[in-house]
Amino acid sequence: MNDVPDCMRRLAEHIRRIDEGRGTDKDLFLANHTIHDYVVFQLVQIGELARKLPEGFRREQAAIPWQEMIAFRNVLVHNYEALDLDVVWNIVESDLPALRRFVLDYMDKQK
């Protein structure tokens, strides 16, 4: 897939799902397998979409850590049992807002 607008739309949807599904309480997130499995699945999808974006687009948008997103997707998929859920929570709290802003700004400019 090299359709950047479609990819941005799908990224926005996965981000929205994380926002709706994770809750606001870290302890609940850490304790509830259903919640953190759901969030991890959305992050896997985000990493997969990042990988499918054209390399030129990723280079032009270097402020977004595309390669780190792709690498983290690989950790989530291939090393799930050793996953540190504190790291997942911190990514959702600290890193996801910048991606959300970027995706929504991109989509606004496409209107």
Q: According to the model, what pLDDT value does residue 103 have?
A: 96
Confidence of residue 23 (pLDDT cuts 50, 70, 90): confident
Q: Of 48, 38, 44, give the one whose Cα is nearest residue 17.
A: 38
- pTM strictly above 0.85: yes
Distances, alpha carbon 27 to alpha carbons 37, 68, 85, in Å:
15, 26, 10
CA torsion through residues 76, 80, 84, 90, sign: positive
pLDDT, mean of residues 63-75? 94
At 104 the pLDDT is 95
Query: If you average pLDDT over residues 57-77, what whole number do you get?
Result: 94
Per-residue pLDDT at 94 exceeds 80: yes
Kindly tell me if the per-residue pLDDT of 110 is higher than 90.
Answer: no
- 36 contacts 30 by C-beta, under 8 angstroms: yes
Q: With a cut of 90, say whether residue 2 has pLDDT above it.
A: no
Residue 62 has pLDDT above 50, yes or no: yes
**pLDDT of 1 strictly over 60:** no
Instruction: Kindly state the tokens that stand for 41.
Output: 């699945």
Question: If you average pLDDT over every residue of the chain, what do you get?
Answer: 91
Q: What sign does the CA torsion over 77, 38, 95, 64 have?
A: positive
Alpha carbons 74 and 27: distance in angstroms, whole number: 25
